[in-house]
Chain A
Amino acid sequence: MKSIKRFFAVLVLIILAVLLSYLIFTGKAVTAIDEIAKAVQEGGFYG
């Protein structure tokens, strides 16, 4: 019983870590895309 509980606790922890990593990565990607779009709009990206 204890070992099953621990197995699921570790599994949940791993899933949460993976999810967090994906969410942060997606957030950074969206922010970067927005910044590029803003820079292009302001004409600064291509100089």
Chain B
Amino acid sequence: MDRRQIFLNIATTFILLALAVMLGASIYYKSYIRIGEAAVDFWSCCRHFFIHLFRHRIDTPVSINDKSNVLEWLINWPETWELFLHRTRAYGNALIDKQNVLEWLAHVYLKMRRVSKVLIMILPFFVALFILVVQIYKKPNNKYNVDTKPLKAFKWMADRVYQPIKQYVIGYKAFLQRHSQLVWLFFLIWGLNLNFGGILLSAIGYYLYFASSFNFGSLYMQFAKLVMDLQIILLKFPWYLFLPLLWAVFHRWRVNRALAHLRHFEAQNCGFINELPIVSMVCGSMGKKKTTALTDMALSQNVMFRQEAYRRLIEIDVKFPNFPWIEFERQLKTCMRYKTVYNLATIRHLVRKKQVRFDKHWDANKQLYGYDFERFGLTYDDKLKTITIFDAMEIYGQLYFIYVLQSSLLVSNYSIRDDGVLQDMGNFPIYYNNFFAGERTRNYHYAHILDFDTVRLGKKVLEDNPNIGSFEFGVVTITEVGKERGNTLELKEIKKGSVEANQKNDGFNAWLKMCRHPATVDNYPFIKVFTDEQRPESWGADARDLCDIVNIVSTSKRGLCLPFFTIEDMLCDWAYNGFGRLYQGMRFRRGDNTLLVYIFKNITAALRRFQKRIYNRFGYGVLEIEKERGTMDAKARKCKYYLMDYKIYSDRFATDCFNGYFADKAMKTNVGIDDYPEYDGVKATVDELHQQHSYFIEGMYKDEGGDK
């Protein structure tokens, strides 16, 4: 940051503070006197409270119920409860009084007359301006990317006035973000200026008085005094400056409502996923969002596995509450760093080694981190079975490993971005994955590449693959599984006894049936396999029967969780569509850059960006689903699945995940669509038919023995 900016920041802060203090001393000085009065009231309430707390029956005078001697009653609020009732009755009668309605209509008529007079007077000027602008902009040209004179003047002025102010405001905002104490200081001074200090002191004081007296009769006076205290804001502070604050509060409220909705949808999705078996298959025709739904389920399952691991960790922890689990975790972290522990099997091996050594030497300091086993015991009996501390350590270690894995639990044949973050201060880490957080995390991982050899129990594509046998747990996602595995018809020519690995001899189906075994920790299988394909019959029945088939019937139109956005949405659409019509005409006629288009375009762009960000953050779609067994012999159950835009469309995956293959082929040709020959007429000639290289056409000629 340059010295000029630093100087400006300090100068601005000093001026704003001085202004606040001067206004406090000149216009809002009564607030400070009122604070003094409120402090006296507070003190009398404290005395009253403590005296009554110790049950002394001394009559203590309390000034909290007296009118203020500092602030005059300028706002015309009823001073007593009786007057308030009388005014309310009069108000109620006036609301339904015919004369009052007529007077209001007359008042509205006068206001409308005034506004209409102004509008009618300025209308001819607008019409003349419109005609002038149309005449000026009607002239076509091809001056590519040349700024018109008015636009140049506008940009010159903007560079010298608007841009410096904008940069300065951005710089000052960043300065305040770095020195948040200054913001609190501004809030404090203005809070005192606007009498919030007095209101707060009176409120606390009255609470203490009410708690000791239960004097309901004094409630109205406090309400009236509150209105009187607020008159400093209502009468001496520009009310329109509160509009941005009120808007911010309203917007914050509706954002919270929208986030609650999104979390509710996510919870419903998690319930749906939990009902699925280990293997499931998402089906639907092209464009039905199969891969989107698949990816969404995988992301949710990834989070649920970590949450389940954490839940079970705590269960184990409380079985042996006095065991120093943190020391065990530290050892595990060290072993993971040095790669002596890298999967569930090595954790079991580590714990069993400790058990063997403990059984030999009974040294709790080395094997049990100083655990006092003589006092707290080595076993836990839950009435189903008795487990030893080493059994608990084995389960705990595996669960901990699953929970603190830095990389993703996703293993997939296409890339999925996972932005779960492990926050670690050196103690027990917290896994944080909020799909709907406002700020995007910069730390993210991608899914591991699925090496199919790791899930083949039979022949492998690469027999000396170092990854063989390593797969234990995770969320496996396979898109286009039918193209990978095939069905009986497609595999008719393939032989099981073949030397090379193929779908019949690789043991993948056997792995699918047994994948729970290596993944089960504490009787919970930390494995799920999600697949997708266009038709369920594309995958052989031997594997398909293990699945639940999730058929996507239809996708709803995009909805929005953010309430009360209709008017803003309408205005943004009007601006965008209106500008679109103008823009097309201008772009067709003119090649240069004009002031009108420049201003409208920037305003429309800002509104469009605002609208898009709202829809992207709070938009969602509903998939109508029919879930059935893989055997496809039972009635399908209708369900709903929610796709939230912010979760699934923020650069999570590429819907054209196999595009690399096609792009590679396209780069090797010298031809594009524009080079394909076109038909000469409405009917194809014989030559044109042959150019199709179609089985149907060639078949017809072969059958008839006709000339080619």
Contacts and interface: CB of A to CB of B under 8 A. Distances in A.
Contact of A25 (B87, B90, B104, B566): B104
A33 interface: yes
Interface string A7-26: 00110010000000111011
A35 B100 contact: no
B94 A26 contact: yes
**Interface hub of A27, A30, A31, A35 (most chain B Cβ within 10 A):** A30
A34 B104 contact: no
A10 B570 CA distance: 10
A26 B100 CA distance: 7
A29 to B, nearest CB: 6
A29 B103 contact: yes
Given A25-B107, A26-B95, A29-B103, A34 B566 contact: no
B108 A21 contact: yes
A41 to B, nearest CB: 13
A27 B103 CA distance: 13
Interface in B88-122: 90-91, 94-95, 100-101, 103-104, 107-108
B104 A31 contact: no
B76 interface: yes
A35 B101 CA distance: 21
Contacts of B499: none
A40 B497 CA distance: 113
B210 to A, nearest CB: 29
B567 interface: yes
A9 B567 contact: yes
Interface residues of B, number: 16
Contact of A31 (B76, B95, B567): B76
A29 B100 contact: yes
B87 A34 contact: yes
B558 to A, nearest CB: 11
A31 B95 CA distance: 13
A36 to B, nearest CB: 12
Given A5-B566, A25-B104, A30 B76 contact: no
B570 A9 contact: yes
A13 B567 contact: yes
Contacts of B104: 21-22, 25-26
Contacts of B87: 30-31, 34
Contacts of A21: 104, 108
Contacts of B95: 22-23, 26
Contacts of A33: 90
Nearest to A24: B104
Nearest to B557: A1
Contacts of B103: 25, 29
Contacts, number: 40
Contacts of A10: 567, 570
A2 B276 CA distance: 36
A26 to B, nearest CB: 5
A3 B95 CA distance: 34
A42 to B, nearest CB: 15
Contacts of A13: 567
B567 A30 contact: no
Given A26-B100, A29-B100, A29-B103, A6 B94 contact: no
A16 B95 CA distance: 16
B566 A9 contact: yes
Nearest to B88: A30
A21 B567 CA distance: 20
A21 to B, nearest CB: 7
Contact of B91 (A5, A9, A30, A35): A30
Nearest to B77: A31
Given A5-B566, A21-B108, A35 B94 contact: no
B107 A30 contact: no
Contact of B566 (A6, A26, A29, A35): A6
A10 B587 CA distance: 33
Interface string B434-456: 00000000000000000000000
A5 B568 CA distance: 13
A30 B90 contact: yes
A43 to B, nearest CB: 19
A26 B567 contact: no
Interface in B131-163: none
Interface in B63-104: 76, 87, 90-91, 94-95, 100-101, 103-104
A13 B104 CA distance: 19
A32 to B, nearest CB: 9
Contacts of A30: 87, 90-91, 94
Nearest to B566: A9
Contact of A26 (B91, B108, B570): B91
A3 to B, nearest CB: 9
A2 to B, nearest CB: 8
Interface string B559-590: 00000001101100000000000000000000
Nearest to A1: B557
Contact of A6 (B76, B91, B100, B570): B570
A11 to B, nearest CB: 11
A27 to B, nearest CB: 7
B570 A29 contact: no
A22 B570 CA distance: 27
A24 B468 CA distance: 79
B22 to A, nearest CB: 34
A46 B613 CA distance: 63
21 contacts: A5-B566, A6-B567, A9-B566, A9-B567, A10-B567, A22-B95, A22-B101, A22-B104, A23-B95, A25-B104, A25-B107, A26-B104, A29-B100, A29-B103, A30-B87, A30-B90, A30-B91, A31-B76, A34-B76, A34-B87, A35-B76
Given A6-B570, A35-B76, 5 more contacts: A6-B567, A25-B104, A26-B95, A27-B91, A30-B91
Interface of B: 76, 87, 90-91, 94-95, 100-101, 103-104, 107-108, 566-567, 569-570
Interface of A: 5-6, 9-10, 13, 21-23, 25-27, 29-31, 33-35
- Which are the 4 A-B pairs with shortest beta-carbon distances? A9-B566, A6-B570, A25-B104, A30-B91
